[in-house]
Amino acid sequence: MAAIGAAVLVLLGLCLGGAAAAVPLVIWHGMGDSCCNPQSMGYIKKIVENKIPGIYVLSLKIGSNLIQDMENSFFMNVNDQVREVCSQLAKDPHLKGGYNAMGFSQGGQFLRAVAQRCPSPPMLNLISVGGQHQGSVYGFPRCPGESSHICDWIRKTLDLGAYTQAVQEHLVQAEYWHDPLKEEDYRKNSIFLADINQERGINETYKKNLMSLKKFVMVKFLNDTMVDPPISEWFGFYKSGQAKETIPLKETSLYIEDRLGLQEMDKAGKLVFLGVKGDHLHFSEDWFYSTILPFLQ
């Protein structure tokens, strides 16, 4: 009887604790957005919480309020943002056992930097929704939300000198600006993307940390009019020296030389490439539930 009673208590504990055992989720918004916008990150947080009872969802905020958070998505040095996020995650007791991460647009490559630079607490799965992993906004074709005046200024600034020190230090989009016609300038002067993509040498820690992910999921929007080239969302890019022909990840030197461990991850089944019809960050709730939610459970 004592053994049966103990077994019942164990089963009861599992049932009561099942919801609380959900893997926490960290999300990072894109350019011109904020952590808690009810039409974007607030909406994502809500639908995840509705489908996974008891889950802890942290929507990252960079700054003391929503206005600062939005402005920092344009003007705060990305390396400083990543350091701030790493500090937030390390101090959060909910995350000490590990967490899943989901980044939207530029938040995708920023969370990849977190995975590569800050292995504690451990990131388990990384979901990049429209992230530009080989760089992008080459030509900056369209602007999000109501930030058109900011984007007009950014376009002019990038055209004048994306790889100057002042612009690199203070303009987020310049830090992942990848000009295929100026590859040497990019490799030498990009203070963020060229670093996390191992363009100037191999940081074995970056490689080891990224390879520790269980899954690296990359979502590409098949009708994207904002990201140029859209294949950057699957880690592809333009062939060097021109801006017309693109190549997939497997034909890039990054993959062939396996500078980030992506080739090894691919062979191990850790890379997941998903395509969804629609423009940048346009997807249905049903698609999210059926395609993305399984990676969070």
- Paired residues of 246 in beta bridges: 238
Which residue in the list 105, 128, 136, 147 is annotated as catalytic?
105
Task: Note whether 120 and 107 are within 8 A (CB).
Answer: no
Tell me the C-alpha distance between 160 and 165, whole Å. 12
| Contacts for 96 with CB less than 8 Å, ≥ 6 apart | 121
Q: How far is CA 63 from the centre of its chain?
A: 19
Catalytic residue among 29, 133, 178, 280: 280
Instruction: Single out the catalytic residue among 69, 224, 228, 258.
Output: 224
Cβ atoms 45, 57 nearer than 8 A: yes
Give the three-class secondary structure for 5. Answer: helix
| Backbone phi, psi, residue 251, to 5° | -100, 0
Classified as helix, coil or strand, 207 is: helix
Active site annotation includes 280: yes
The answer to whether the CB of 131 falls within 8 A of the CB of 233 is yes
How far separated are the first and last CA of the chain, in Å rounded?
Answer: 35
Which two three-digit tokens encode residue 161?
A: 């000198």
Both tokens assigned to 73: 């998505």
* Catalytic residue flag (residue 149): no
Residue 224 a catalytic site member: yes
Residues in contact with 1: Cβ distance below 8 Å, sequence separation at least 6, in sequence order: none
**DSSP category for residue 136:** -
- Residues belonging to the active site: 105, 224, 280
